[in-house]
Structure 1
């Protein structure tokens, strides 16, 4: 079967090099066994024919060297599996060294056994050593048979030597057979594990061809083993260079390396594979092949990618959200609540109410992990760290503590979400009206994920302020209705009373009384008209409220206004000569009338009207010697429907005179202000006619 888009030609399976020695032995081990295998037979043969004396230093040095190299070979082994080469050689070297103290009759047989064992070790080291083994065995037999002829040993010693040699040779062959069986069993176990392990395993030659692959690897790529072996590993990759570059990095490194590549299966689909691979070296240090493990992580990668996308989306929402968001950790809170539950607490709310210190302890266990820029701005913090450390004041308000109690109750009752209004403060102490939304997700086991609590906080201070203002306006509306009713009722009652008297008893009154009644009716009608004028001005917007300014004399306008609005107490007029201003005559008289009405109602008994010129323009002041307006209320008097002082239980003025007057003044290019100078001073400023004409 070929991969889509390319042709795969299965090659004959390449036989791996015999690397058992490279796998099992260090270079020093190989040298030790090699030297020992060739040192033992010559020295043993030379001793048997009498060349060495048992006390000869050269013999002792060579025997000691053989023993040391045998021990080194054990220490330098790479695998924990016992090897007959080490066992045979080390045993032979030990016996060889011990020959110096053995009886002469046995000595010859022991040396023969040593030679046999040494040559068996040589045979196991190199398969081509069989010929050398036969040659050495022949030499030993000739030497032993020649003893009687040369007179160097008795016939009984020779027979004993041959018997011992035969026994040792048999033991050596038996050891080799057992070792071979153990190795075969070990290889069988390895192959069984290789086939049954659920993770893909593979071997790849240095030229990139697959030498072997277990069933898990074959199943992963959708190929049969016989088709996969001989295929180039790079051809299984969606991008061939991925494997080539990775394999190149392995050739110069002896440590396993991790890889994650896209691979193409037999049906053309792309999967993500992840695993480890390493280079296997032979006794000369060269790379024999590459081996490794591999598994299909496509589904895991999809989940990881989805998690990454979700995390990025959350982070984007978290950072860019216009409302403040805190990420908090309630893990330690949950642990403490579990302790309380195990101690017998059943009603957490009652327990916290009875133990305020417990609430503070739970509050200290909340961990503030992160906050978005909107949260930093909400509490006027200078940095994220400051927003995390100062989100809760050192001395939280009862309302704030109550909101945390509700959060603890949500954890106690396994509730994922709660919404609550709470009062808070900024870092600099400015009060805030907030709506808090507390939410927890669920873990795979269905439990609440208390390590990632999301708390969204919306600032509703403006809304609450508007609601309070609306409530105040509604209250003012009620007061306005009562005030308007009172203000209108007085002149209307007078007008109606006088009119009914004239209608019903006109013939009973004289001419003077009739004129007086008519004068009362006219005065009250004028008062009623003034109230209606103020209401109309207050009801209109600036765009629809028209003024028609012209050059007017303030002195004349004040005198005319006083004449048309007679009163028992007339103000003192302090205006030296004509004072020309740019104003609407009708609106100017309305302003002055309102200022005088305000002074009569709330000021002292002595009222003065002043007018004149200043550098900033024309002014008209109405003074009285009353107590004045409290400092905190000096701007409030210019707000519609606002009355300062007086009995709140009784209806008073409408509260429109001063607001309407300031509005009219500003529409004419001037202003109306208040100050206290040994009494109340309301000052009207207006532009001069010359300046307005030039403008």
Structure 2
């Protein structure tokens, strides 16, 4: 008999070996109950076996899921690290955990505006920066910052020797943490390890897991925008130069036009005697010639920008062109103290009109910006002719020397002489190079020297 059944019968005061009256019915009852318990035992056994198998299978399944998850996490981490280190722009991984705790303490201390607080307490900003730790960096950032060893970047940051712009960018990052932000972008000027500065665009991102921002793995990407900033500055300078150019053109045209219109109006009357009339007519002719020169420079400058500037090559007598300028434009060009040149014609290869225009611009430049003494020196050899326009004005600053041939660049004139339009030297060098020569500047002892170099004329040019 089933042991459990026998135990239950004994608890009821019954004995399976001494059945009550009607033993046949009692026997059938006991047989049915015993069969039931036997079936229950088998069911329990099967259930226990099934549960045991399920437990082992669940354990195996759990281990398989953990292994798969671990592999996927490892693969994802490897993929992330690969992308991180192969980024073409500089990238840093930074841990802000300690800085976050410091910022939260500031909040509990009653700080309302973090940026204002940093302005009043720069030492606290430096403290927060020193709590940030760089945990990883890629090759591009070491190249950008010119770090000799990658290990030099890793670890806690050193807040000393940071530029004002750099400090401002750090303050903005901490303010993002203060506000609960996870992505910001800011332009700043940083300082490399060698002390040089660079312009950069900083992208700061903190990851988010299950709705919480993790500031222990913030990624900072630095994009070098030095060239872009330089281009923007050049564009601003160009716009400003264009505005100054228009103002200069207006002034340059108005000055001779005022004389032409004024004297022409006076000549309409009968009260001007012959000597005064001759003087006025000469002034009108000179000012009209000056106007013509200005317009010619503007036209040449426009053609040069469009790539349509041309020259008519042939033989040009440099000595004759200098004499012509001295006689024709004596009232608008400086008085030349001396012309030091070989006697007789000085044949060179070029366009006579353009050579004359270059020399006129050089002499006008000397009148506007040079000293009181102007000397023209001409030297020749078998291959070339060199014409130097020299003045004894002050030395041109080194930062200006590199720009004197730039379009629209100009400085203040000497005394009451107004500044020029700012294209004379530019187009003069363009014309010289179109003729196979060049126009250069140098400081020679006490003289500023602009030197035009042209090829010597050949028999073919003379023909």
TM range (shorter): 0.7 to 0.9
Cα-to-partner distance string for 1:160-198 (whole Å, 9 max, x where unaligned): xxxxxxxxxxxxxxxxxxxxxxxxxxxxxx99987646x
Matched with 1:687 is 455
The alpha-carbon deviation at position 591 of structure 1 amounts to 0.7
Deviates more, 1:613-622 or 1:422-431: 613-622
* Structure 1 position 541 matched with structure 2 position 309: no
Q: Which one of the candidate residues 559, 566, 569 is aligned to 2:323?
A: 559
- The 1:647/1:381 distance shift into structure 2, 3 A limit, reads farther
Determine if contact 2:317/2:348 at 8 Å carries over to the other structure.
Answer: yes
* Structure 1 position 673 matched with structure 2 position 437: no
Distance in 2 (CA, whole Å) between partners of 1:324 and 1:523 is 63
Cα-to-partner distance string for 1:547-578 (whole Å, 9 max, x where unaligned): 22222221112112222222385312221123
- The 1:516/1:407 distance shift into structure 2, 3 A limit, reads same
* Structure 1 position 500 matched with structure 2 position 265: yes
SS of aligned partner of 1:638: coil
Q: Which one of the candidate residues 362, 385, 394 is aligned to 1:595?
A: 362
- The 1:602/1:194 distance shift into structure 2, 3 A limit, reads same
Q: Which one of the candidate residues 409, 434, 437 is aligned to 2:175?
A: 409
> When the two structures are aligned, how many residues end up with a matched partner?
413
Determine if contact 2:133/2:155 at 8 Å carries over to the other structure.
Answer: no
* Structure 1 position 215 matched with structure 2 position 54: yes
SS of aligned partner of 1:294: helix
Cα-to-partner distance string for 1:12-52 (whole Å, 9 max, x where unaligned): xxxxxxxxxxxxxxxxxxxxxxxxxxxxxxxxxxxxxxxxx
Distance in 1 (CA, whole Å) between partners of 2:394 and 2:225 is 40
Matched with 2:246 is 481
Q: Which runs of 5+ in 2 are unaligned?
A: 1-44
Distance in 2 (CA, whole Å) between partners of 1:419 and 1:663 is 44
Alignment of 1:494-643 (within 5 A): 494-502=259-267, 504-505=268-269, 507-509=270-272, 513-541=276-304, 543-567=307-331, 570-571=335-336, 572-577=338-343, 578-614=345-381, 617-643=384-410
Instruction: Indicate the structure (1 or 2) with the bigger Cα radius of gyration.
Output: 1
Determine if contact 1:330/1:365 at 8 Å carries over to the other structure.
Answer: yes
Distance in 1 (CA, whole Å) between partners of 2:414 and 2:160 is 43
The alpha-carbon deviation at position 368 of structure 1 amounts to 0.8
- TM-score (normalizing by structure 1): 0.54
Q: Which runs of 5+ in 1 are unaligned?
A: 1-189, 198-213, 221-292
Determine if contact 1:390/1:427 at 8 Å carries over to the other structure.
Answer: no
- The 1:541/1:390 distance shift into structure 2, 3 A limit, reads farther
- The 1:623/1:346 distance shift into structure 2, 3 A limit, reads closer
The alpha-carbon deviation at position 530 of structure 1 amounts to 0.8
Distance in 2 (CA, whole Å) between partners of 1:647 and 1:518 is 28
Could you say what the CA RMSD is over the residues aligned between the two structures, in angstroms? 3.3
Distance in 1 (CA, whole Å) between partners of 2:364 and 2:246 is 20
Alignment of 1:263-274 (within 5 A): none
Distance in 1 (CA, whole Å) between partners of 2:125 and 2:204 is 18
Alignment of 1:54-453 (within 5 A): 196=51, 214-217=53-56, 294-296=60-62, 299-300=65-66, 303-304=69-70, 306-342=72-108, 345=111, 347-388=113-154, 394-444=160-210, 446-453=211-218
Distance in 2 (CA, whole Å) between partners of 1:684 and 1:351 is 62
